[in-house]
């Protein structure tokens, strides 16, 4: 037994290790790549699953895990000296859990390494549809897709003809919110941080208009794009962007607070000054966490998969190759280097 264990099972395992807690913007050197080894078999009766990671997801929320979270609720800090954790697509190599068997494709919570032993696979979903790119399960068919879907349809309660504004609009979530809004018959404007992204929004993702938030006064740009005001603001940015949007909201507007990426790297978040407008304009502003909607995943798939197959929704990905390039890909999220959903390919099969 002891000899067999070493002979058949153990392989090298490249890992992206979290090195230190971060202040301000994260740097590549806050992580490092190391090689260790891992047994590819799972202890019987353990409920664990051993997966080979194929695609890893870089998501803005991961910034919060790079800071020490004193009192964790949904998310804990990354563990110093351990691999970065996040969403990914993986293949089951061995399983002691009745729901998973060798060869299954899954998406969900995994770690940034070649192989991961998932002791509690409750955070894994089986992939049953493989006629779409597997990487989509890190984006449009995974957590960001669910985020856009739940945030837009459940929190924003959109109506046909309404005016919708999406910040960080070319990102993993924003590009979908805009397309969902267009399918609903809304008028949609997005903002992004480069000319290339603005063109993408207008020419590929079907937004009615878009502007570069780095090159325009936010209040004027929103006034120009929404002369009648904003009914729905899908908030990914926070700070000054929220203040500007508040100034241009319509009566009974809704603000879905999905993220505040402009604030994640500040030691103290910016003050938001225009909240009195919530009152005058009867605005509802509501935060949400996608985990609360995961029980609706199959309903979500039934809606979104046909739209992908029929070409009614497209999805833009930014692909990095290899675990070595994963730290730069993650860090790039926070200076807007990525165009579309940032994915890291660990292995294509």
Closest CA to 112 of 345, 348, 298, 349: 345
Q: Which residue has the tokens 């000899």?
A: 3
Q: Closer to its own copies at the Cβ: 289 or 319?
A: 289
| 225 beta partners | none
Binding marks (x or -) toward its own copies, 153..192, rule CB under 8 A?
Answer: ----------------------------------------
Closest CA to 232 of 325, 320, 169, 276: 169
- Considering only 25-33, 216-224, 254-262, 334-342, which stretch makes contact with its own copies by CB under 8 A? 254-262
Confirm or reject binding of residue 242 to its own copies (CB under 8 A). Answer: yes
The CA distance from 172 to 55, in Å, is 15
Q: Provide the minimum distance between the beta carbon of 96 and its own copies in the complex, in angstroms, as a whole number.
A: 33
- Which residue in 188, 258, 333, 344 binds its own copies (CB under 8 A)? 258
Confirm or reject binding of residue 260 to its own copies (CB under 8 A). Answer: yes
Question: How many residues interact with its own copies (rule CB under 8 A)?
Answer: 33
- Identify residues 63-82 at the interface with its own copies (CB under 8 A): 73-74
- Identify residues 272-331 at the interface with its own copies (CB under 8 A): 272-289, 292
Sorted by sequence, the CB contacts under 8 Å of residue 237 that are 6+ apart come out as 167, 168, 259, 260, 261, 262
Q: Provide the minimum distance between the beta carbon of 302 and its own copies in the complex, in angstroms, as a whole number.
A: 25
Q: Provide the minimum distance between the beta carbon of 118 and its own copies in the complex, in angstroms, as a whole number.
A: 25
Confirm or reject binding of residue 259 to its own copies (CB under 8 A). Answer: yes
Contact 64, 43 (CB under 8 A): no
Q: Provide the minimum distance between the beta carbon of 149 and its own copies in the complex, in angstroms, as a whole number.
A: 16
Binding marks (x or -) toward its own copies, 262..281, rule CB under 8 A?
Answer: -x----xxxxxxxxxxxxxx
Q: Closer to its own copies at the Cβ: 16 or 260?
A: 260
- Identify residues 211-230 at the interface with its own copies (CB under 8 A): none
The CA distance from 128 to 188, in Å, is 32
- Which residue in 96, 257, 301, 319 binds its own copies (CB under 8 A)? 257
Contact 288, 256 (CB under 8 A): yes
The CA distance from 151 to 194, in Å, is 25
Tokens found for residue 200: 């993408």
The secondary structure element, H or E, covering residue 327 is: helix 326-332
Contact 96, 46 (CB under 8 A): yes
Q: Which residues bind its own copies (CB under 8 A)?
A: 73-74, 238, 242, 251, 257-260, 263, 268-289, 292
């Amino acid at each position: 037994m002891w000899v067999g264990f070493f002979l058949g099972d153990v392989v090298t395992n490249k890992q992206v290790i979290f090195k230190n807690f971060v202040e301000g913007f994260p740097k590549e050197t806050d992580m490092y790549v190391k090689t260790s080894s891992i047994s590819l078999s799972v202890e019987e009766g353990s409920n664990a699953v051993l997966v080979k990671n194929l695609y890893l997801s870089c998501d803005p929320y991961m910034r919060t895990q790079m800071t020490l979270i004193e009192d964790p609720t949904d998310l804990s800090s990354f563990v110093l000296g351990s691999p970065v954790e996040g969403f990914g697509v993986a293949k089951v190599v061995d399983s002691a859990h009745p729901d998973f068997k060798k060869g299954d494709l899954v998406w969900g919570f995994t770690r940034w390494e070649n192989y991961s032993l998932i002791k509690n696979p409750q955070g894994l979903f089986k992939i049953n549809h493989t006629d779409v790119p597997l990487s989509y399960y890190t984006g449009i068919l995974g957590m960001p897709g669910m985020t856009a879907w739940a945030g837009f349809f459940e929190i924003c309660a959109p109506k046909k003809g309404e005016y919708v504004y999406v910040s960080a609009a070319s990102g993993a979530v924003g590009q979908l919110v805009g397309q969902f809004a267009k399918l609903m018959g809304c008028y949609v404007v997005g903002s992004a941080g480069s000319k290339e992204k603005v063109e993408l929004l207008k020419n590929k993702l079907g937004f009615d208009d878009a502007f570069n938030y780095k090159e325009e006064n936010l209040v004027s740009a929103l006034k120009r794009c929404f002369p009648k005001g904003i009914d729905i603001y899908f908030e990914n940015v926070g700070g000054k962007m929220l203040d500007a949007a508040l100034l241009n909201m319509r009566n009974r507007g809704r603000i879905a607070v999905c993220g505040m990426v402009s604030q994640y790297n500040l030691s103290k978040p910016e003050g938001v000054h225009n909240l009195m407008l919530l009152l005058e304009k009867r605005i509802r502003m509501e935060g949400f966490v996608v985990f609360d909607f995961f029980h609706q995943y199959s309903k979500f798939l039934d809606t979104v998969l046909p739209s992908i197959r029929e070409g009614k929704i497209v999805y833009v990905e930014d692909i990095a190759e290899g675990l070595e390039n994963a730290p730069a890909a993650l860090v790039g999220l926070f200076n807007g280097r990525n165009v579309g959903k940032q994915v890291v390919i660990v292995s294509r099969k």
